[in-house]
Amino acid sequence: MRTHRVLHIVIICLCFSSVTIVSASTATEVEQFSEIFQEGIASWYTSEVDGALTANGEVFDPELLNAAHKDLRFGTIVRVKNLTNDMTVDVRINDRGPYVEGRIIDLTPAAARQIDIYEKGIVPVTLTILYYPDIPESRYDRPGDTGWYRLQVGSYRDYDKALSAFLKLYDHAFSVMTELLENGLIRISVRWIEASNLVQTMQKLESLGFSEILKRSETAP
């Protein structure tokens, strides 16, 4: 009876697995700005894990002039001015953060050194947008990075819990994939998430109660 119920959910999920979210694409255009966009505290960050990915899918490189911002589109070029010494650096947004109250941007170590933030840790800055792309920029420098991601949201031994998770994802228009593992677990994943939507999608999944999310690259749909 249990085997029959497991096969039943697999069949149901396969029937609905073609549901996808498609983001609109437009021609890439760049707008220029010259006014101060934001003022606040800047800090710097790094990664202790070799090959760690930024939010747009790139491999984090501490020697490049990049930065993390909560809202600006990936590929935006921002001029950061240190208000304590008037030094400036132009950085490209390729990550999300900072998530510390009061801070508005996290710089790579290379960018932090250029405006004398590295030793101080945090300083007041202004941000001026130099370039703002219509389409978020995303590059993939590591073999296997395709620009698309699969997010595993859970593995379930209980049929009812697996079905509940599947229906919740389906009701929110996700493309759902199910796998019946050899150990009897039912693995449920969300497929075909573009790098530009990765952070937003993970936040949405967390708001739905999926807190243990595993991410990996996959082939394009």
Q: What is the CA radius of gyration of the chain?
A: 21
Tokens of 12: 């149901």
Looking at the domain 2-19+142-217, which fold is it?
A: Alpha-Beta Plaits (3.30.70)
Buried b (16+ CB within 10 A) or exposed e, 54-70: bbbbbbbeeebbbbbbe
The pTM is what? Answer: 0.51
Q: What is the mean pLDDT of residues 122-142?
A: 74
Q: What is the pLDDT of residues 35-68, one digit of tens each?
A: 788 999 999 998 876 777 887 778 889 999 999 9
Q: What angle do CA 97, 205, 190 make, to 5 degrees?
A: 115
Sequence ranges of the domains in the chain: 2-19+142-217, 30-133
Q: Which amino acid is at 165?
A: A
Question: What is the dihedral sign for C-alpha 60, 62, 65, 66?
Answer: positive
Please say whether the structural domain 30-133 has been given the CATH code 1.10.3720.10: no
Question: What is the dihedral sign for C-alpha 73, 105, 152, 163?
Answer: negative
